[in-house]
């Protein structure tokens, strides 16, 4: 069993744990203090898509504790609590400004008080301290493919199978399958003649300005180095991202994304209040109950979550539900950023910003296609349609 | 101490429902302005967990019409990625450049969905084309002098152009006396901006440190320091060792000497525009966003007004203050300006606890970086292979070059993660000095452009003098910096250009 430390205190972890899983199992729920009001924060999405579990790990600031696997002797330190994260005195900022702090109009009348505010703000700014050591450039690589497919969930895999040779299928996780894996649903992980690159996250999509012919230039982080990939066509099948709901207390430790808890290799208590309605909430609740949780369903937007970590929720109907943790089960919002940063149009539909496509996944950028959840409802347009259209 | 009842929407930046309502109430409901005004979506998650929640609130409040319910422009890297990773990209990424048309913008031509429905006034005394810092500061100064009906027109949201895209550096270290004086007065104004205009701009005077890597540059900084001293600045040339005391993380073997002025600083650019716009409106000027100027009417050697996508406005005087778009706007009046737009790219890192006082710049490569009030390392770097053009897209090439240059100069920053890159356009003149004053052959058409990436730090003084000059006061800079100088060969060479 690997042993890690948190702020110098030893923590027993399990071999497959992420840092977040090991800490939660050890009963640690406050991972950091928030940047402005020093509110306690713990992990939410367990997918590297929110910023609530940032921690200094082995001398590197602000790493996502939910994405870092534990290793023997790993040093974890909590940030932004100068006097200790559990009892951070700067949390007074939250108490003193219950309505929020309007930094634009704070103390504008007095030049002297303005200067004092500047000095205080400067000292409180930021999250992590500078890295301990020096990280040397990690030798990257430049390669060319006909088709790059981002995301090896159901849609990306289907696009890979439908495409001809020369496709590169880029997957952020260590295995293909995407969200289906969370629910234990069967998924066809056959990639046809495409090459599957795991542990690879596409962090940028640009118009290609290199001398190598091709429309797109992708920046793909593969472990600690970057691959630059020139591609003639790109299919974005990045899926969705769990969303919180804006109610008082949603940001407190103990409120998690339901899909995040399905991805987490540890359990957070026994009694779980699941907030949500419809198919997504039902599906998450069933899967969570198979993990051994006792579920209480809550519909509507709760009035508030109470406790640190959260131990109760006041529902919209006015009843108080006691629980060990809260799971928010909203349909995941399309992860449109890669496609929209490259100029593809995306529009709000009440639950997110799906990328606008035709039935074959064509976006407003001629070489860019989108398929699956990122383009709206799952499988519309399908990966098959986008994969074959991108190769025509 | 119990936790407050804030309903947090953006957990990275602690933005609540209340803050979003506040921004809507202040007139910043469009998603790009909402992001800038509240800070939502600018933290480590880059909006992935707050953008939907924020838009849901805007939609519920009917704050923006459905066609404008779009995401804010997503900025790479889409997940925090270290400078060292970018620095390791091979020469194929940073070598010979193949020019691209850039990527298609989110908005095409045609009226913007956020364009106000009310018609423009049929006439004004002064129309200002461009709602960047120059145009808005001029509107505020003109309105304060009772210059008549002032109408400032901005084609996008406030902050959409270079005034909202710069790194916030403000300095008086220049190599021409006029620019030194303009910058001195402007920085002094910035220090009292909150009292004058009611909004904080967070001027932090951490100094500017210019590094000279070769003898030629060393001579330039020595000349500059001498001149600046004569103008009352505290600039002095210091050794690498002394520079290392100011910024201990610097690799001092990479430069020969440095020019140091502890009174320069860094501001937070966006509130300048909001402050000037609100101030101008309070004084009776009209500032209209999402309004495009489509024509300039000229007859009998005089300007007569402008055409816009919201109708025609007659005016005796039209000021072109459109930054890098100024040559395009001037062409509407049949006027050729020598200005050329060039893209400059910039990137912001994860927020770090304060460690860096000054803005540091390597004069040879145009690398510069500083630490914002939010703790981010914000920096950029010039690219000698950049093609001219109005291109505001980002490139991987820039991150690779910047990551390499910065992690060589400050090795400890190698492991720091980059969060967000963007680009803006410099408005470059042949001598790197501005274009001001009358336009030969078109009476009433006034120029206020050509600031080569530093207009932001001079606008308060330039706008004050321009408003006084337009009111009849004598001021030789509007003669000396006239566009005529290019035809007459009277160039005014400024050499301290970075980025």
A47-56 residue pLDDT tens: 999 999 999 9
- How close is the nearest chain B Cα to the Cα of A54, in Å? 9
Pick A98's closest partner by Cβ from B4, B17, B48. B4
Residue-range domain boundaries for chain A = 3-124, 141-240+334-389, 255-328
- Average pLDDT over all residues of chain B: 95
Q: For residue A333, what are the contacts with CB-CB under 8 A and spacing of at least 6?
A: A240, A241, A243, A351, A352, A353, B52
Q: Which of A49, A210, A221, A335 to mutate to test the interface with B (most CBs of B within 10 A)?
A: A210
B3:A364 CB<8 A: no
User: Does A123 contact B354 at a Cβ distance shorter than 8 Å?
Assistant: yes
Q: Residue B399: inside a domain, yes or no?
A: no
Fold of A3-124: Ubiquitin-like (UB roll) (3.10.20)
pLDDT per residue as tens digits for the range A72-117: 999 999 999 888 888 888 888 899 898 888 999 998 989 999 999 8
Residue B444: how many CB atoms within 10 A of its CB? 18
- Are residues A374 and A236 in contact, defined by beta-carbon separation less than 8 angstroms? yes
Give B496 to chain A, closest Cα distance, Å. Answer: 28
Please indicate, yes or no, if residue B28 is contained in any of the structural domains.
yes
| Residues 6 or more apart in contact with residue B436 via CB below 8 angstroms | B447, B448, B462, B466, B477, B478, B481, B482
Q: Cβ of B52 and A352 within 8 Å?
A: yes
Asked whether this chain's domains A141-240+334-389 and A255-328 adopt the same fold, the reply is yes
Residue with tokens 């109610």: A247
* pLDDT per residue as tens digits for the range B363-400: 989 999 999 999 999 999 999 999 999 989 999 999 99
At A392 the pLDDT is 78
Cβ distance A95 to B1 less than 8 Å, yes or no, reads: yes
CB A251 within 8 A of CB A244: yes
Q: Which residue in chain A has the smallest CA separation from B385?
A: A209
| Least confident window among A187-191, B1-5, B227-231, B306-310 | B1-5
Closest CA to A49 of A320, A367, A338: A338
B78–A202 CB contact, under 8 Å: yes
pLDDT tens for residues A20-39? 999 999 999 999 999 999 99
State the pLDDT confidence band at B106, using cuts at 50, 70 and 90. Answer: very low
What percentage of chain A exceeds 90 in pLDDT? 82
Closest-CA residue of B relative to A123 is B354
For the residues B342-371, what does the mean pLDDT come to?
Answer: 96
Question: For position B102, what pLDDT does the model report?
Answer: 56
- Judge: A353–B52 Cβ closer than 8 Å, yes or no: yes
User: Each residue of A213-241: pLDDT tens digit?
Assistant: 999 999 999 988 999 999 999 999 999 99
Find the residue in A nearest to B64 (Cα): A348
Helix (H, G, I), strand (E, B) or coil at B428: strand
Which of B17, B81, B397 minimises the CB distance to A221?
Answer: B81
Tokens of A300: 């509507």
Give the minimum alpha-carbon distance from B18 to chain A in angstroms, rounded to a whole number.
7
Count of A-B CB contacts under 8 Å: 336
Residue A165: is its pLDDT beyond 80? Answer: no
pLDDT more than 90, % of chain B: 93
Residue A345 distance to chain B (closest CA, Å):
7
What is the average pLDDT score of chain A? 94
Query: Which pLDDT score is estimated for B84?
Result: 96
Mean pLDDT to the nearest integer, B94-120: 74
Question: Is A138 at the interface with chain B, CB within 8 A?
Answer: yes
B427 SS3 class: strand
Q: In chain A, which ranges are continuous DSSP H helix? A: 19-25, 92-96, 111-124, 154-162, 258-263, 278-290, 337-341, 383-389
pLDDT band at B495 (very low <50, low <70, confident <90, very high): confident
Interface with A, mutate which of B1, B2, B3 (most A CBs under 10 A): B3
Of A107, A205, A250, the CB nearest to B7: A250
Residue A380: predicted pLDDT: 58
For residue B53, the surrounding DSSP H or E stretch is helix B51-60
Chain B: give the shortest CA distance to residue A377, in Å.
16
Question: How far apart are alpha carbons B368 and A383 in whole angstroms?
Answer: 44
Test B353 with A127 for CB contact under 8 angstroms.
Answer: yes
Q: Which domain holds residue B20?
A: 8-73
Q: Are A389 and A361 in contact (CB under 8 A)?
A: yes
Taking the alpha carbons at both ends of chain B, their separation in whole angstroms is 47
pLDDT 10s digits, B239-270 = 999 999 999 999 999 999 999 999 999 999 99
- At B108 the pLDDT is 55
Q: How many domains does chain B fold into?
A: 1
Between the two ends of chain A, the Cα-to-Cα distance in Å is: 52
In a domain, B458, yes or no: no
Per-residue pLDDT of B49-95, as tens digits, reads 999 999 999 999 999 999 999 999 999 999 999 999 999 999 999 98
Residues 40-79 of A with CB under 8 A from B: 40-41, 44-45, 48-52, 54, 60-62
Contact B48 A337 (CB under 8 A): yes
Is the confidence at residue B453, as pLDDT, over 70? yes
Q: Is residue B20 part of a domain?
A: yes
Q: For residue B487, what are the CA distances in angstroms to A171, B326, B334, B388?
A: 58, 18, 17, 22
**CATH of region A255-328:** 3.50.50.60
Closest CA–CA distance from residue B286 to any residue of chain A (Å): 22
Indicate the pTM of the whole model: 0.96
Q: Which residue of chain B has the CA closest to A202?
A: B78
CATH architecture of A141-240+334-389: 3-Layer(bba) Sandwich (3.50)
Report CB contact under 8 Å: B88, A201. Answer: no
Percent of chain A with pLDDT strictly greater than 70: 99
Q: Which of A30, A82, A100 to mutate to test the interface with B (most CBs of B within 10 A)?
A: A100
pLDDT at B498: 76
pLDDT for res A18 = 97
Residue B45 forms part of a structural domain: yes
Residues of B in contact with A246 (CB under 8 A): 7-9, 16-17, 53, 56-57
Partners of A257 in beta bridges: A328
In this model, does residue B414 exceed pLDDT 90? yes
Q: What are phi and psi of A95, to 5 degrees?
A: -70, -45
Task: Check pLDDT > 90 for residue B174.
Answer: yes
Q: B249 with B369: CB under 8 angstroms? A: no
What is the predicted pLDDT for the residue at B104?
47
* Cα–Cα distance, B183 to B465 (Å, whole number): 13
Shortest Cα distance, chain A CAs vs residue B83, angstroms: 8
Please tell me the distance from the alpha carbon of residue A54 to that of residue A20, in angstroms, as a whole number.
10
Contact B332, B182 (CB under 8 A): no
Residue numbers in A near B419 (CB within 8 A): none
pLDDT tens sequence across B293-312: 999 999 999 999 999 999 99
Sort out which chain B residues have CB atoms less than 8 A from A243's CB and list them. Answer: 49, 52-53
B265-266 vs B169-170, strand pairing mode: antiparallel
CATH number at residue B57: 1.10.10
What integer pLDDT is reported at residue A377 of this predicted model?
55
DSSP string for residues in A115-127: HHHHHHHHHH--S
- Touching check for A232 and chain B: CB below 8 Å? no
Whether the CB of A223 is below 8 Å from some CB of chain B: the reply is no
With an 8 Å Cβ cutoff, are B352 and A130 in contact? yes
Give the range among A122-136, A282-296, B358-372, B433-447 with minimum mean pLDDT. Answer: A122-136
The distance of B266 to chain A (nearest Cα, Å) reads 12
Q: Which ipTM score applies to this complex?
A: 0.96
Q: Is residue B37 part of a domain?
A: yes
Would the pLDDT of B213 be above 90? yes
Nearest Cα neighbor of A250 from A51, A29, A33, A42 is A42
Residues B315-328: what's their mean pLDDT? 97
């Amino acid at each position: 069993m690997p042993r890690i430390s948190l702020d110098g205190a030893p923590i027993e972890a399990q071999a497959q744990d992420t840092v977040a899983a090991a800490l939660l199992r050890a009963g640690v729920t406050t991972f950091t203090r928030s940047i402005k009001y020093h509110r306690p924060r713990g992990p939410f999405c367990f997918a590297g898509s929110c910023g609530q579990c940032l921690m200094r790990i082995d001398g590197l600031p602000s790493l996502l504790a939910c994405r870092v696997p534990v290793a023997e002797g790993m040093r974890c330190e909590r940030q932004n609590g100068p006097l200790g994260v559990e009892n951070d005195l700067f949390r007074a900022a939250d108490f003193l400004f219950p309505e929020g702090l309007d930094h634009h109009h704070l103390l504008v009348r007095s030049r002297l008080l303005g200067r004092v505010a500047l000095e205080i703000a400067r000292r409180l700014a930021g999250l992590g301290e500078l890295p301990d050591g020096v990280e040397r450039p990690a030798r990257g690589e430049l390669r060319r493919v006909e088709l790059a497919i981002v995301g090896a969930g159901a849609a990306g895999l289907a696009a890979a199978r439908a495409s001809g040779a020369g496709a590169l299928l880029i997957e952020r996780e260590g295995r293909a399958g995407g969200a289906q894996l969370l629910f234990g649903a069967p998924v066809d992980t056959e990639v046809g003649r495409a090459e599957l690159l795991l542990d690879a996250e596409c962090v940028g999509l640009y118009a290609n300005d290199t001398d190598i012919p091709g429309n797109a230039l992708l920046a793909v982080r593969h472990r600690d180095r970057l691959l630059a990939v020139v591609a003639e066509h790109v299919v974005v099948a990045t899926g969705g991202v769990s969303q919180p709901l804006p109610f008082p207390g949603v940001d407190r430790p103990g409120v998690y994304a339901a899909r995040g808890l399905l991805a987490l290799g540890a359990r957070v208590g026994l009694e779980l209040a699941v907030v949500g309605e419809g198919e997504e909430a039902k599906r998450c609740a069933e899967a969570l109950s198979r993990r051994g949780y006792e579920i209480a369903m809550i519909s509507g937007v709760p009035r508030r979550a109470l406790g640190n970590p959260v131990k109760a929720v006041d529902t919209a109907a006015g009843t108080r539900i006691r629980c060990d943790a809260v799971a928010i089960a909203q349909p995941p919002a399309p992860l449109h950023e890669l496609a929209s940063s490259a100029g593809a149009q995306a529009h709000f539909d009440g639950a997110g910003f799906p990328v606008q496509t035709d039935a074959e996944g064509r976006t407003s950028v001629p070489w860019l296609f989108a398929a699956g959840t990122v383009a709206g409802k799952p499988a519309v347009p399908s990966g098959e349609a986008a994969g074959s259209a991108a190769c025509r | 101490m119990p936790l407050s009842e804030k309903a947090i929407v953006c957990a990275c930046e602690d933005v609540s429902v209340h803050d979003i309502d506040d921004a809507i109430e202040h007139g910043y409901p469009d998603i790009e302005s909402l992001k800038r005004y509240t800070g939502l979506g600018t933290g480590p998650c880059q909006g992935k967990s707050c953008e939907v929640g924020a838009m849901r609130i805007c939609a519920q409040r009917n704050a923006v019409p459905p066609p404008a319910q779009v995401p804010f422009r997503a900025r790479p890297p889409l997940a925090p990625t270290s400078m060292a990773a970018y620095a390791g990209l091979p020469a194929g990424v940073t070598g010979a450049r193949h020019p691209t048309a850039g990527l298609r913008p989110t908005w095409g031509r045609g009226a913007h969905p956020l364009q106000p429905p009310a018609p423009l006034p049929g006439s004004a005394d002064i129309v200002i084309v461009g709602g960047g810092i120059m145009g808005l500061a001029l509107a505020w100064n003109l309105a304060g002098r009772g210059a008549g009906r002032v109408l400032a027109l901005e084609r996008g949201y406030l902050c959409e152009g270079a005034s909202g895209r710069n790194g916030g550096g403000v300095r008086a270290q220049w190599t021409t006396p006029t620019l030194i004086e303009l910058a001195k007065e402007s920085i002094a104004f910035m220090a009292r901006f909150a009292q004058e205009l009611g909004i904080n701009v967070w001027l932090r005077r951490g100094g500017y440190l210019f590094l000279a890597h070769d003898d030629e540059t060393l001579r330039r900084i020595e000349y500059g320091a001498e001149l600046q001293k004569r103008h009352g600045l505290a600039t002095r040339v210091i050794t690498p060792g002394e520079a290392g005391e100011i910024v201990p993380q610097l690799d001092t073997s990479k430069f020969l000497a440095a020019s140091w002025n502890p009174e320069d600083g860094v501001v937070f650019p966006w509130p300048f525009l909001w402050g000037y716009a609100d101030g101008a409106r309070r004084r009776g000027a009209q500032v209209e966003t999402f309004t495009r100027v489509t024509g300039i009417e000229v007859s009998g050697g005089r300007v007569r007004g402008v055409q816009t996508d919201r109708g025609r406005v007659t005016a005796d005087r039209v000021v072109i203050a459109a930054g890098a778009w100024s040559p395009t706007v001037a062409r509407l009046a049949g006027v050729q300006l020598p200005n050329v737009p060039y893209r400059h790219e910039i990137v912001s890192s994860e927020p770090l606890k304060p460690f860096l006082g000054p803005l540091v710049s390597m004069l040879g490569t145009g690398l510069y970086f500083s630490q914002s009030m939010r703790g981010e390392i914000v920096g950029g770097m010039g690219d000698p292979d950049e093609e001219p053009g109005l291109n505001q897209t980002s490139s991987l090439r820039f991150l690779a070059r910047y990551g390499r240059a910065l992690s060589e100069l400050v090795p400890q920053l190698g492991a720091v993660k980059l969060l967000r890159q963007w680009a803006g356009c410099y408005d470059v003149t042949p001598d790197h000095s501005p274009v001001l004053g009358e336009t030969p052959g078109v009476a009433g058409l006034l120029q206020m452009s050509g600031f080569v990436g530093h207009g932001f730090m001079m606008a308060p003084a330039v706008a004050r003098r321009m408003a006084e000059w337009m009111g009849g006061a004598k001021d030789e800079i509007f003669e000396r910096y006239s566009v005529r100088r290019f035809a007459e060969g009277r160039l005014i060479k400024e050499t301290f250009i970075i980025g």
